[in-house]
Amino acid sequence: MPESARLSASIPSVDPALQPRLVVTDLDGSLLDHHSYDFSPAAPWLARLKQMGVPVIPVTSKTRAELIPLREALGLTATPFIAENGAVIGLPPGWCHARLDRPGSGRDGVVIKHPGVDIDFIRARLKVWRERLDIRFTRMGEMSVPEVMELTGLDAVRARDARQREGSEPLLWDDTAAALETFRAALEGDGLELTQGGRFWHVMGRSADKGAAVEWLIKRFTALRGRAPVSLGLGDGPNDITMLEAVDQAVVIRGCHDLAVEPRNALLYRTDATGPAGWAEGVDYWWGRDDRRLATAEKGDAVVI
């Protein structure tokens, strides 16, 4: 459990409804339906959190290019985002530090941080290990747009956006479990790690997972706000585990898969519903009971970042 959670637990006089709050969430299979990308079951809670000034931060395997229209559709353009499973962090102006962050060059003024390694290095090492170990996999960068569309259900525009990688490379594994472990060990020697998503395995820098990126954003929030937030994380896949271990309260959303999701977090809830309905169920479980008290507190103490 994060240090902030242990400190809060040790001071019972502190009313958690008076602390600032923060939500970090996976997208596919969590806030978004795995197949249709619909989020309507979660929309009432999204609107409520926005009204209360609680940041909702997407933490996803998607690329920055994919997130641009999604952040607009979800109404999350004023909050940061974590893309490519932690390899890319985007900071809107309100989350930037005057001395530490250069002004953003994107159309929305977002400052981009790259905690991991460059995509060219990842692709070069994948080429080396595929030849040296004689293993079988296909990188997303090697797939055509129609192939990505068929695998993911994305349209042509979003499939092209999904191929615009900056700090991670998805791949389809087509070899044995033993070969996978040999491959994993080889990547570790390069400072890279392998994590499992819903459709793909993802290769990225060792220090660039979802959990590390979430911890970085929580520290940035605390530095700018002056108080550590109560953090809530929601996800449905193995690549969400580090994120769910970095927050105070965690929700494992029932997935449309048979993959084990076992984060080490004492404050853990597993939903009955899947997708955005499960997302709403998880937020309601942790925060629904004191929602009115939270709203009252936030009216007089709005989040300013």
Residue type, 191: G
Which residue's entry shows tokens 């790259």?
114
Tell me which DSSP letter residue 181 carries.
Answer: H
Report the distance separating Cα 239 and Cα 26, nearest Å.
Answer: 9
Report the distance separating Cα 136 and Cα 30, nearest Å.
Answer: 30
Active site residues: 26
Which token pair is 26?
């996976």
Distance from CA of residue 26 to its chain's centroid?
5
How many CA atoms lie within 13 Å of 222's alpha carbon, on the beta-carbon side?
A: 12
Burial 246-264 (b: 16+ CB within 10 A, else e): bbbbbbbbbbeeeeebebe
Report the distance separating Cα 52 and Cα 290, nearest Å.
Answer: 13
Which token pair is 281?
């169920």
**Three-state secondary structure along 21-59?**
EEEEECCECCCECCCCCCCHHHHHHHHHHHHCCCCEEEE
Contact predicate 160/154, CB 8 Å: no
Report the distance separating Cα 210 and Cα 227, nearest Å.
Answer: 22
Which token pair is 68?
């641009």
